[in-house]
Every structure is written in structure tokens, then in C-alpha cells.
């Protein structure tokens, strides 16, 4: 057994012996202590081994069952695919077909989808009548995590247990001084970052809350019932979370308004997109212990992270000890250590340094600052290079603007497309938000003119990926003429 996998098994065994009655998993209503956790994982591990499959898929809501089956797959040495609930049925079908998963464990709501993909139900598993074949997998694949990126067809990133669990061990280590005893999973388990946060919590012997997205009040990729989400955080007594910037914005705003206290939280990691320094400063002012990080699925998620004793607002922190990070001549971030085994259906990755596609720079103390995606960078008519995600983060993390798209290629001033949190708000509110963002930006990155969208970007209109990222080429094709005309208005 690989060293990191053995370390996880040993940790669970130690927790089961030292604190058998301690609450390990807390779903919507069911609870599992550490003694039962180990027993239930071993039982599922044996069931998976008996099936003889090489790849199995989980189509389960966040909950105790999803965690138990995921751990069982790790220990059984069977590659696991967690189907993202925010993917379309066509995307999930692609994941199943490409991964050649012969077993699926799913919610009842998935019945029709699985039947249409050729699976048959036997009471516990959905089965596909096909030979178990792992020839398409890079050797050592423990998880296939799908990311849709900026295209409609998801790409399968193949990762080893060793790579993922090394990152989980690093996460547990950097949060140890804060001693969080109760971690609550907010993001779907199909998000690799959340998956690793769960492993880190179990390594620490903490209580892990895994309520369903429904109970959390989260719908799809971006819908949030804030009263429900905040209420559950308080009822559960969550001390540690992993959040994306928009969820952090909601939590900070609620604390500023006195709706919830900040005092119970000990460690909150934020990542997945550029975080505005203004939002991080607001979090610090209300006493929220927030630590920005950076990573990508191809590097088993987290690469850099600020930490309690070592943080700098505006940076994504220093590299964790398991990786090396350097910059190419053009500023692209390159990472060595815990890289992917390969993309599914493509040749295995055999290089030393993974090109992330992100532009960054280090300060004199070794903190990494990100400047946006290499391929998204545009050049203004004055010859200045601008990464739009930087400007978009400043626009969307101040409470008024829900979506922003910035373009300035060969233009004398940058133009933004905006969609407000409150569709009924007057233009003056958006103008004030734009001016507030501009105040913190250099002149070449400021928004010179903005346009109010008639409808938000969404997967339905083809302008947003299933996991909430703008389809930049599609937006430019749809609004390009309008963006150009706006500068002559």
C-alpha cells in the first residue's frame, strides 16, 4: 500500500481506538462515530473488491454515504469518478462513457439518466454489461476528477491516491495551529478541493459535517438561499470551511450586518477564483480567519496557501512543502510535485513541470501573486497587458455586482458587461460599484464604460460553464459588436 494511503488508514484506525464514540460524520440527519466509520468503510471496501470493476462512479448528494464509498474506493484500489451535480446530463453521460465505469452508486433521481446510458439496477449498484478494462487509465489512477474548463466537454484528470493524500496531509498540517474540531463541507464532493478538505478533516480526527446541498440551501452552480446556509453553519457550530469567493462575500456581509458572529470560526480557506484584496480586508476587519490559496486539479488541487502564522493579503500564499513552483520567462506559473498522471484518453504526463496557464509573480519574501490566465490576457490600444479576471474580481466581490465580463483588446479604454445581485437596482448602484473598484486599480486596468446585461450569463444560454465560469469566446461572439459600439456612444 502506498505510504500516504497507509497513513490515512492508520489515522482512521488510531481515531477509532482512541476516540471510538467521537462523531466522525454528520449528514442531513444520520451520524457515524469513528469506530463505526472504520467498520463501514471496510465493509464497503470488501463489497467493491467483490465486484471486480476497475472504475466506479458516485452520483450521490453530499452525505455520509458519499464519504464512506469514496474512502472505500481509495482503500480498494478502484478508480472513483464523482459525478458533479452541476454538470448537465449530457456531460455526466460523457464522464461515464469516457471513464468506462462499470458500477455506479446513485441517488434515485439519477435513475432515468443511468438507464439511458445502458446501466441496470440490482438494488445496490447500477451495472453496465461490459468487461472491466483499465487499459485507458494511467497506472495508479485512484480518482478521475472532471473539470469542464471553458468548453462544454469535461476533461478527466487522473490522480493517484499518493498525490491527493499528500495534499490533504499538508492541509491538515497548516490548519493544525488553529485546531478546528468541526469541519463543514459546503462545496459538492465532486469538487476536488472539497474532497481533499474532507480527507484533511478525517486525518485530524475532527467532526465532519456533510449536509446535502439541498439542506445547505445551495442550488446548482450558483444559487444560494443565504438564510438557510447561514442558519446551518450556526446550528452545526462549524469551525472550518472551504469557500469560493462569492460564498465568502455572503458570509462576510452577513457578519458585517450582525446576522451571524465570526467568533466560532477558526480556519476558512478560500480559492477557486481570484479573491479581491478588498474582500479579504473586510474579512480581517470582522475577525474572520480567512486564508487565500491557489491550486488546480492537474496538481491535485492546492499548491499555495496562506496560513495563520504566514499570510499576506493579496497573495495566494507560499508554496506548500510538497511542491516546487517557479515562473517561466513569460511569467507563467510552473509546478513540480503531486501532478496529474494524465488526462483520460490522452498520453500519460511524464514531464517534471506542469504549465498551469496562470500568470504570476513572487515578492521578495516568496509569496505568490496571480495576475490572471495567460490565454485570457488582452492588450489595450496603449500597449498595456491586462488580465480580466483581476478586474472582474474587484467588480464582483463588493456586494452589488453578481457577474462581470471585462474586455479591452485593442481598445483605448476597457468595457465591462455587468449583471447585478438585485436585478431591480438602479444604474447608480452599479456605477458606484464600478467607481469603487476603479479606485483600487491602476489606470490601464480601470473600466472606462460599462453596459448592463438584460439577462445573466448561464449554462442555458451558453455563456457560462456548468461549474460557473464565463465562456469568454462565446461572450465575445455574442456581445462583441455591442462592446465595440459602446465606446463610440
- Checking if the pLDDT of 329 tops 50, the result is yes
Q: Cell numbers of 286, please? A: 470582522
pLDDT at 246: 80
Report the alpha-carbon distance of residue 447 to residue 438 in Å, rounded: 7
Q: What is the pLDDT of residue 151?
A: 43
Confirm if 369 and 361 have CB atoms less than 8 A apart: yes
CATH number at residue 408: 3.30.300.30
Each residue of 380-414: pLDDT tens digit?
766 677 889 889 988 998 889 999 999 988 788 89
Residue 125 reports pLDDT greater than 50:
yes
Q: Report the distance separating Cα 42 and Cα 240, nearest Å.
A: 27
* Residue with cell string 509569496: 367
User: Are 356 and 396 members of one domain?
Assistant: no
Is the pLDDT higher at 431 or at 273? Answer: 431
Separation CA 228–CA 272 (nearest Å): 23
Domain boundary among 346, 374, 402: 374
Is 300 found in the same domain as 314?
yes
Claim to verify: residue 478 and residue 347 sit in the same structural domain: no
If pLDDT is split at 50, 70 and 90, which confidence band does 441 have? confident
* Pair 119, 108: CB distance under 8 Å: no
pLDDT of res. 147: 79
Cβ proximity of 295 and 325 under 8 Å: no
Which CATH number belongs to the domain containing residue 334 in this structure?
A: 3.40.50.12780
Whether 192 and 313 share a structural domain: yes
- Model pLDDT, residue 222: 56
Are 323 and 390 within one domain? no
Are residue 363 and residue 404 in the same domain, yes or no?
no
Domain, as residue range, for 476: 377-486
Instruction: Report the pLDDT averaged over residues 436-456.
Output: 89
pLDDT tens for each residue of 144-197: 999 754 445 778 999 999 999 999 999 999 999 999 999 999 999 999 999 999
Average pLDDT over residues 115-144: 90
Q: What's this model's pTM, rounded to 2 decimal places?
A: 0.84
- pLDDT at position 150 is 40
* pLDDT at position 425 over 50: yes
- Which of 12-26, 149-163, 243-257 bottoms out in mean pLDDT, i.e. has the lowest? 149-163
Q: Are residues 172 and 292 in the same domain?
A: yes
Asked whether the predicted pLDDT for residue 488 surpasses 70, the reply is no
Confidence band, pLDDT 50/70/90 cuts, at residue 444: confident
Residue 104 has pLDDT above 60, yes or no: yes
**Across residues 293-310, what is the average pLDDT?**
95
Tell me what the pLDDT averaged over the chain comes to.
Answer: 91
Q: What is the pLDDT of residue 382?
A: 66
Strands laid side by side in the 301-305 sheet: 31-33, 23-26, 207-209, 182-184, 240-243, 267-270, 290-296, 301-305, 318-319
Instruction: Say how many domains are in the chain.
Output: 2
Which residues, 6+ apart, have CB-to-CB distance to 434 below 8 Å?
Answer: 395, 416, 418, 447, 450
Going by the DSSP 8-state scheme, the letter that residue 470 receives in this structure is B
For residue range 188-225, what is the model confidence (pLDDT) as tens digits?
999 999 999 999 999 999 999 999 999 999 876 557 89
In this structure, of 109-118, 242-251, 364-373, 463-472, the range with the lowest mean pLDDT score is: 463-472
Tell me which DSSP letter residue 442 carries.
Answer: -
Average pLDDT value for residue range 112-121: 96
- pLDDT at position 149 is 45
Domain boundary among 327, 342, 374: 374
Together in a domain, 402 and 352: no
Of the residues 374, 407, 427, the one at which a domain ends:
374
- The answer on 324 and 429 residing in a single domain is no
Residues 262, 120 within the same domain: yes
**Residues 153 and 181 occupy one common structural domain:** yes
Strands (E), 257-392: 267-270, 290-296, 301-305, 318-319, 324-327, 332-336, 342-343, 354-362, 368-373, 378-379, 385-386
Same domain, 130 and 243: yes
Amino acid at each position: 500500500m502506498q505510504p500516504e494511503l497507509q497513513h490515512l488508514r492508520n489515522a482512521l484506525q488510531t481515531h477509532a481506538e482512541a476516540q471510538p464514540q467521537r462523531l466522525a460524520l454528520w449528514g442531513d440527519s444520520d451520524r457515524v462515530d469513528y469506530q463505526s466509520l472504520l467498520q463501514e468503510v471496510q465493509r464497503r471496501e470488501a463489497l467493491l473488491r467483490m465486484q471486480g470493476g476497475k472504475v466506479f462512479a458516485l452520483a450521490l448528494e453530499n452525505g455520509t454515504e458519499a464519504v464512506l464509498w469514496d474512502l472505500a474506493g481509495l482503500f480498494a484500489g478502484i478508480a472513483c469518478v464523482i459525478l458533479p451535480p452541476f454538470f448537465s446530463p449530457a456531460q455526466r453521460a460523457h464522464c461515464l462513457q469516457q471513464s468506462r465505469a462499470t458500477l455506479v452508486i446513485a441517488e434515485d433521481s439519477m435513475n432515468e439518466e443511468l438507464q439511458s446510458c445502458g446501466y441496470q439496477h440490482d438494488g445496490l449498484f447500477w451495472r453496465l454489461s461490459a468487461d472491466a478494462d483499465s487499459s485507458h487509465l494511467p497506472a495508479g489512477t485512484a480518482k478521475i476528477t472532471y473539470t469542464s474548463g471553458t468548453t462544454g466537454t469535461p476533461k478527466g484528470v487522473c490522480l493517484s491516491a499518493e498525490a491527493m493524500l499528500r495534499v490533504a496531509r499538508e492541509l491538515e498540517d497548516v490548519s493544525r495551529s488553529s485546531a478546528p474540531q468541526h469541519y463543514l463541507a459546503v462545496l459538492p464532493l465532486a469538487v476536488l478541493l472539497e474532497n481533499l478538505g474532507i480527507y484533511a478533516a478525517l486525518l485530524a480526527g475532527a467532526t465532519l459535517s456533510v449536509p446535502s446541498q439541498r439542506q445547505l440551501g445551495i442550488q446548482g452552480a450558483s444559487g444560494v438561499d443565504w438564510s438557510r446556509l447561514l442558519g446551518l453553519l450556526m446550528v452545526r457550530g462549524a469551525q472550518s470551511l472551504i469557500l469560493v469567493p462569492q460564498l465568502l462575500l455572503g458570509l462576510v456581509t452577513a457578519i458585517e450586518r450582525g446576522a451571524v458572529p465570526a467568533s466560532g470560526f477558526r480556519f476558512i480557506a478560500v480559492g477557486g477564483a481570484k479573491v479581491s484584496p478588498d474582500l479579504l480586508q473586510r474579512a480581517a476587519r470582522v475577525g474572520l480567519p480567512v486564508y487565500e490559496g491557489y491550486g488546480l486539479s492537474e496538481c491535485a488541487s492546492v499548491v499555495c496557501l496562506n496560513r495563520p502564522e504566514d499570510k499576506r493579503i493579496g497573495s495566494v500564499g507560499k508554496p506548500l512543502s510538497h511542491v516546487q513552483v517557479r515562473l517561466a520567462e513569460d511569467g507563467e506559473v510552473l509546478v513540480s510535485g503531486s501532478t496529474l498522471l494524465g488526462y483520460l484518453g490522452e498520453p500519460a504526463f511524464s514531464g517534471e513541470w506542469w504549465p498551469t496557464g496562470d500568470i504570476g509573480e513572487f515578492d521578495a519574501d516568496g509569496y505568490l501573486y496571480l495576475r490572471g490566465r495567460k490565454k485570457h490576457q488582452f492588450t489595450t490600444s496603449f500597449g498595456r497587458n491586462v488580465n480580466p479576471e483581476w478586474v472582474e474580481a474587484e467588480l464582483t466581490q463588493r456586494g452589488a455586482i453578481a457577474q462581470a465580463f471585462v474586455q479591452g483588446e485593442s481598445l483605448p479604454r476597457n468595457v465591462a458587461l455587468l449583471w447585478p445581485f438585485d436585478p431591480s437596482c438602479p444604474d447608480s448602484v452599479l456605477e458606484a460599484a464600478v467607481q469603487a473598484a476603479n479606485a483600487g486599480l491602476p489606470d490601464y486596468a480601470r473600466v472606462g464604460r460599462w453596459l448592463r446585461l438584460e439577462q445573466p450569463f448561464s449554462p442555458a444560454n451558453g455563456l457560462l460553464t456548468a461549474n460557473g465560469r464565463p465562456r469568454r469566446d462565446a461572450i465575445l461572439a455574442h456581445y462583441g459588436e455591442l462592446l465595440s459600439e459602446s465606446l463610440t456612444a
